[in-house]
Every structure is written in C-alpha cells, then in structure tokens.
Amino acid sequence: MENIQEYIESGILEQYALGELSPAEQAAVEAMAARHPAVGEELAQVQQALGIYAEAHAITPPAGLRERVLGNVMTQIAAPATTATPNSSLRADVDAVAQGPRATAAQPTPGEAVVRPFTPAAEAPAPARSMWAMAASVALLLSLGVNALLYSRWKDASSELVALQSEQARFATTTQVVQRQLGELKQENQVLRSDEFKAVALAGTKTAPSAHARVLFNPATHKVFVDVRSLPALPAGKQYQLWALDKGKPIDAGVLTAATATGQGLQSMKDIASAQTFAMTVEPEGGSVNPTLSTMTVVGNI
Amino acid sequence: MSDTSIISLPPAAEAELVRRLQARDESAMTLFYDRYSAALYGVIFRIVKAEDEAEDVLQEALVKIWHAFASYDPSKGRLFTWVLNICRNLSIDKIRSRQHRVGSRTQGLDDSLTAQRQAAPTEFRPEHIGLQEITKQLVPEQRQIIDLLYFEGFTQSEVAEELNIPLGTVKTRARTAIKVLSKLIR
C-alpha cells in the first residue's frame, strides 16, 4: 500500500495523462492502473481534471467551419472505409448486415455523394422484446424531450438572472449618485436657510460691471460658502480666487472650481475667522498667495 | 444539445455514441462533431494559435478518430480523454514541425495569453465550468504550469528549464493544480 501511494505521488500519472511517456512507460502505467484500483482511480481523476481544463477553453468554431470540416471528413471516411474495413468490431453480425448494401452502393464514382438505402440492422427480433424495446424507446424519447425543455428553461432562467443582476447593479450605482447629490443639496439648503449665515452681495467692479456673486459667511462657525450668479468666462489656465479682507489685510479663502464659477451651486470655501469685505480676483490655476488687485472682478462689504 | 458539458455527459449517452462509432455508423460523426467540436477546437486553437491551421488539425483529427476507433478501449478511459489526446498530439506535432522550420523553440507565452483573451465565452452556460471559475481556483503559477504543459506541449523538465525553477516544484505545482481541477467536477 505504501509504495502505491508513493507511485501515485511520483507524478508519473500526470506525465502519462499529458502524453510525456514513451510507449513502454505508458504500458507500465496502464498495467499498474489495471492491477491497483487506487492507481486506476487516481489516473481517471487526473484525466478528468485535464478534460475539465480543456473544456473550460472551449471555443465555438467560426461560422462555416462545421459544414466544411464535416463535409471533408465524410468524403474522406465514406469511400475507402467500406472497401477496406479491417473491422475488429465485436458487432460482426451488425456489420455483416450493414456492409452488403454499403459495398454495392459505394461503387459509383467515388467522391460523389453516396445515397445509401436504409438498412434495418436488426430485423424482427422476438415480438415481445420489440414491444418492450419500443415502449422503452418511447419513454426515452419523452424523457429526452422533457430534459431538453427543462434544460432550455434552466438556461433561460439563468440568463435572465444574470441580466437582472446587472440591472440591479446599475440601479445601485444610480442610487448612490442620487444619494450623493441629495446630500449636497441638503447641505446647501441648510446653509441657505440658516439665520447664522450672513449673505454678502459681491458686485462687479469696473473690469466686469455685470459680474455678480454672493458669499455666505457664518461668523460663529467661520464657515464660508460662495454662490456665483454671473462671472465673466476665464482665459485658459486661470481660476477665480476668493479673498477675505480683515482690517484691510487679504486672507486666502480658496479657489473656485469651474462648476462653481459657472454658477452650478454653492461651494464650501476655507474657514475665515473674521472679515469685513470679500472679493474675487483672477489668478493662475491653483491660486496665488497674494491677490492680483488689477484683476479684481467682484467685491462686497458685510 | 451541443453546449451540454462533456464532463457531465451521462455515461449512457457516451456509451451509445461509442457503440455507433464502433458499428461504423458514419452519421454518428455528425453527432460526435456537435458534441465535441467546441472543446476540441478550443484546445487545438490554443496550441496552434491560427484559425486556418486549427481547422486543418480538427479535420485531420476527426478522420483519424474515425479510422483508429477500433483502438479505443472504453475500459481504459473516457472517450473525451482519448479524442483530446489525439487532438493534442496532432496539434503539438504541427507546432513542433513549424518551430523546426522557424528554428525557435519557445515564443509562446504572450501568444497564448492573447488566445485566452480572445476566447471570452460567447454564450452563458450554466453547467459549464468556465475559465473564470478556473482562474478563481488556480493560483497564477499553477495555471502557468498547466498551460505550458497542456497547451505548449512542454515536458515537465522543459517547464522547469523555461521558468528556471526546480523540477520537483514543477511536479508539485502540476499535481496540486490537477487536484484543484478535479475537485471542480460537480
């Protein structure tokens, strides 16, 4: 028993299944498998595992291949196989019945399609047996039909399940997006409704008289939001930057995103401890440390 | 029924096909084709890596299967195992003779990866053990070894040389991978 296990673990069965062995080695493995059921079983498992691997890589052949290949195979096997049948088959009796008409039918020009009369291979066995056989065949046919039906329903159901699952995943994503947007809106709403926030109107300067924006400033929590109504379009590489002026000293309150600058909603800016005036300037992308006063677009006092 | 898994094919259906082929029933070849061609073509294509050559090999294999059928012994293993071996051997012979001509022994890994990518399953098959499942079960090193052994026709020693790892490690990984695969049978 010991050395059987050792034999199995030596990896020779895998080599056999992968076709690495010489004919003599193959014969030795087959003999071992025949003598020891454990070896035979293990070998069958190895072969089956490779079968699974092979089948997992199945590819439906390209269109048209079936007709070409089957057609060629049929012409190749049809003519010569009948004349030279070195048939060691156990069913010599069946062959004897089948071969007679086959040989005569195959005589016309080889390569041409051969029409062969249907030969009832096993004619008239005992009537009782044939009744049973017929009943069994009918039962088998019925069962095959039912199987095919059930199989196709199962497949349909599975496909539908996959479709539903992907649908569900899409819904989940949509819901997430909606939820996030809802959260943003709620926050904006809170800011807009809060009494603690002071609304500071920023009016356009000489450079942009029609510009118009609002800052919402909460002196208690130091929160600052900006709400753009209308600002001139920016040249490439520039961004609006909000400044708080506290006793004349400019403090950076952060840059406006492109969405905010086009008036899509509130944007939360940097916290500002104290300010009397807010203003916006045009700065290089990312903002500046000190405001470029010549580009001041809007300004407003609290 | 062509998309029914061969692995889960009931033994009775296989025995019936074998009986008809042994009885030299040519119409059984059509049935055989419909049941086995996708699996066989998949293996052949992954070895030869060209559609026209795969078609030639598949045709050659079918003719060989028909003529050599008397040598198939059901007591020694399943029909699928036997026909797979015929297809693999013909395919490997094909690439060996080609590689002889070109003179390079191994250019395969990248190609086989593209082949794997091309072969996304076109149809959902509930009972079919798919590539995804196999990728989930096998660690990449195991899969690489099985691919080299199965689709590139390497021997275990050649794999050891190619990957520059000890032969013992190749054997262990191959055995473990095959164990994992055989557990996938339902």
Model pLDDT, residue B120: 41
Element (H or E) spanning A278, and its range? strand A277-284
Torsion of CA A132, A133, A138, A140, to 10 degrees: 110
Model pLDDT, residue A107: 42
Whether residues A173 and A242 fall in one domain: no
- Farthest CA pair distance, chain A: 118
Residue of A nearest to B18 (CA): A89
A42 or A191: which carries more pLDDT confidence?
Answer: A42
Read off the pLDDT of residues B67-86 as tens digits, 9 standing for 90 and up: 999 999 988 889 999 999 99
Which residues of chain B lie closer than 8 angstroms to A69, CB-CB? Answer: 33, 37, 55, 58-59, 62
Query: Half-sphere exposure (CA, 13 Å, Cβ side) for B71?
Result: 8
Residue of B nearest to A153 (CA): B126
B89 and A52 in contact by Cβ < 8 A? no
Cα radius of gyration (chain A): 43
Residue A216 pairs in a beta bridge with A199, A225
- The percent of chain A in helix, strand and coil, each rounded to the nearest 5, is 50, 15, 30
Which residues of chain A lie closer than 8 angstroms to B151, CB-CB? Answer: 57
Read off the pLDDT of residues A71-122 as tens digits, 9 standing for 90 and up: 999 988 876 544 444 444 434 444 444 444 433 333 444 444 555 545 444 4
Whether residues B51 and B97 fall in one domain: yes
Residue A225 pairs in a beta bridge with A216, A268
Model pLDDT, residue B104: 46
Whether residues A208 and A271 fall in one domain: yes
* Per-residue confidence band for B107, with pLDDT thresholds at 50, 70 and 90: very low
CB distance B166 to B184 below 8 Å: no
Read off the pLDDT of residues B138-155 as tens digits, 9 standing for 90 and up: 888 898 999 999 998 899
CA angle B106–B109–B110, rounded 5-degree value:
120
Residue B134 has pLDDT above 90, yes or no: no
Which residues of chain B lie closer than 8 angstroms to A55, CB-CB? Answer: 5-7, 39, 42, 128-129
Angle of helix A37-56 relative to helix B79-102, nearest 10 degrees, comes to 60
A61 and B38 in contact by Cβ < 8 A? yes
The boundaries of the domain holding residue A52 are 2-56
Whether residues A48 and A139 fall in one domain: no
Read off the pLDDT of residues A245-265 as tens digits, 9 standing for 90 and up: 998 899 999 999 988 888 888
Predicted TM-score (pTM) of this structure: 0.51
Residue A126 has pLDDT above 80, yes or no: no
Whether residues A210 and A260 fall in one domain: yes
Q: Is residue B136 part of a domain?
A: yes
Q: Is residue B110 part of a domain?
A: no
Domain count, chain A: 3
Which residues of chain B lie closer than 8 angstroms to A15, CB-CB? Answer: 155-156
Residue A158 has pLDDT above 60, yes or no: yes
Whether residues B12 and B92 fall in one domain: yes
The boundaries of the domain holding residue B145 are 129-186
d(CA A64, CA B41): 14
Domain count, chain B: 2
Model pLDDT, residue B92: 92
Whether residues B97 and B136 fall in one domain: no
Residue A47 has pLDDT above 60, yes or no: yes
